[in-house]
A and B are shown apart, each in its own frame.
Chain A
Amino acid sequence: MHDMRFNIPGKDLNLEPFALKIPDFQKKCEVMITDKGYKSRITNIVPLSDHERLFLLRIVDPHERELFNFRPGQFLMLEVPGYGEAPISISSSTSNHEFIEVCIRKAGHVTSALFEAKQGAMVSIRGPFGTSFPMEEMQGHSVLMVVGGLGIAPMRAPLFWIGNHRDRYKDVRLLYGAKEPSQLLFDYQFEEWQKVSNVDLLTIVEKPDDSWKGNVGLITALFDEFTLEPEDTYAIVCGPPIMFKFVCNHLDKRGIPMNRMFVSLERRMHCGMGKCCRCMVGSTFTCLDGPVFDYWSVMNLKEAI
């Protein structure tokens, strides 16, 4: 009798060309081993505050290092083998192809393990994923960046970008607020941003200590400190949801169109690829359609803020 055994094309999927290739996360819609990350070494750990550190990662394989190109605002999935994965926004300059910087707060068990890890530790990264800030669209206009607390992490990439192409933008202003002076991260770069990148930097804290001589209050208090031309300004807002709600409402009143304000949302993510549905906001995936949204879209998303 005829052989009734069902033998099929998918049997040797492990041997198919895609299975032997290094995944390139920029190439969407192609079958890839999306669960295999780029092996990376933690080359340096910079303490920023009691709870935040900057990790410098270097992708070990030169070919993989070349594949990893990102845009300001995108994020990666950082895997600490054994401990799991967490979505982390990329905090370095897009022109830095040697090292990837990520600014991490100790929050869950993955980041806690990372805080225990030593220089030289081997981790894995997948990505980049998600949408980015429209840096080209902003060219020829003024840019207002509003940052609360750890929101500085996703803001550094656009800051570096603007620094590298400063002549393409008009006035660039960075408003940076935190609870306490010690939580103003990257203060060692403030001077560079002001002098080299010609960014007008205003800082503010809620709870000053004795040495603090600057502004005190909520970030919205800084809005009286400057004038802006709403028709000619783009805004990027990064921080806790409650903050960007207030900030965007204010900017809306000042006349900046909602589709020229950009925010970065954070949600729990498990896959980063629009499948696990953990990061859904309304009917939208934060990992695919975000994390960068214009404020008009956010306003239209159910349960976004």
Chain B
Amino acid sequence: MNHLGFKLDKVKVGSFDFTCCEGCQLQLANKESTLPEFLGLIDIRNFREISSERHDDYDIALVEGSITRSDEIERLKAIRAQAKVLVAFGTCACFGGVNSLKNRIPQEEAIREVYDGKKIETMPSMKISDIVEVDLSIPGCPVSKDEVERIMVGIVTRSAVSLPKYPVCVECKQKLNTCLFDLGEICLGPITRAGCDAVCPTGKTACLGCRGPAEDINFPSFEELVLDRKLSISDMKEKLGFYNGFGDYLDHES
């Protein structure tokens, strides 16, 4: 920032994956149009989708995935010890993600179904903040590259890093979409944090809340809406449980 008389340093970034599909990290590597600029902002110390080099002197740790094994806990704690800023990166890291679906059934049943009864160590899926302190959350399944770029620029320039506080409806209406409730579907848009540019409802797919709840949501009114439209509460709960971002509301008495 020459015009302000100070210099900005590249930030040293390490990116790590736990139980996940690595799709969020791939998002960063995928968007070629701004990849050179993005890499210009950061000094990659550890990021297997982008570089084969491995260093342990990172300041910012992007952590993708949820925690489902005891060795992951140790690895995560070590990352926390090194990182000055630990970022829960993507829905699995922020909320547990789709991996958490298995939390609803006995673990042995899950192992039998998936691994055909092989001896596998696994435990209920946990979000990163269940284990260590998280400084910053970037939700999304996958994360939005634009948002990650914006937040990374914010970290580098030490300016505001924040997520929208309002729900997806704002962005959906700006796309002139037809409300999925008017088409007879349950959509979590009215209670889910915006920032995705309403990509799912724009593609006529109901929002499943991958970005978790917006700030200060009116859940009773949302439930009222589902009932008022004569839609199924169990379908609503199914959607709320999909990414595990609405755990606080699932046990809500209706």
Contacts and interface: CB of A to CB of B under 8 A. Distances in A.
Establish whether A and B are touching in the complex (CB under 8 Å).
yes
B5 A83 contact: no
- Interface size range of chain A in the complex: 10 to 19
B158 interface: yes
Contacts of B157: 82-83
A80 B4 contact: yes
Contacts of A84: 159-160
A113 B3 contact: no
Contact of A109 (B1, B4, B160): B160
Interface of A: 80-84, 108-109, 112-113, 116-123
Contacts of B6: 116-118
Contacts of A81: 3-4
A118 B159 contact: no
**Residue of B6, B158, B159 contacting most chain A CB atoms (<10 Å):** B159
**Residue of B4, B5, B157, B159 contacting most chain A CB atoms (<10 Å):** B4
A113 B5 contact: no
Interface residues of B, number: 9
Nearest to B157: A82
B1 A82 contact: yes
B160 A121 contact: no
Q: Is the interface of B mostly helix, strand, loop or mixed?
A: loop
Contacts of B4: 80-82, 113, 116-118, 121-123
A83 B159 contact: yes
Contact of B5 (A82, A108, A119): A119
Interface in B137-158: 157-158
A209 B220 CA distance: 51
Contacts of A116: 4, 6, 158
B154 to A, nearest CB: 9
Interface in B1-18: 1, 3-6
Contacts of A83: 157, 159
Contacts of A109: 159-160
A115 to B, nearest CB: 10
20 contacts: A80-B4, A81-B3, A82-B159, A83-B157, A84-B159, A84-B160, A109-B160, A112-B158, A113-B159, A116-B4, A117-B1, A117-B5, A118-B4, A118-B5, A118-B6, A119-B5, A120-B5, A121-B3, A121-B4, A121-B5
A82 B159 CA distance: 9
Nearest to A108: B160
A113 B158 CA distance: 8
A81 B159 CA distance: 12
A59 to B, nearest CB: 16
Interface in B113-159: 157-159
A114 to B, nearest CB: 8
B66 to A, nearest CB: 31
A121 B3 CA distance: 5
A122 B3 contact: yes
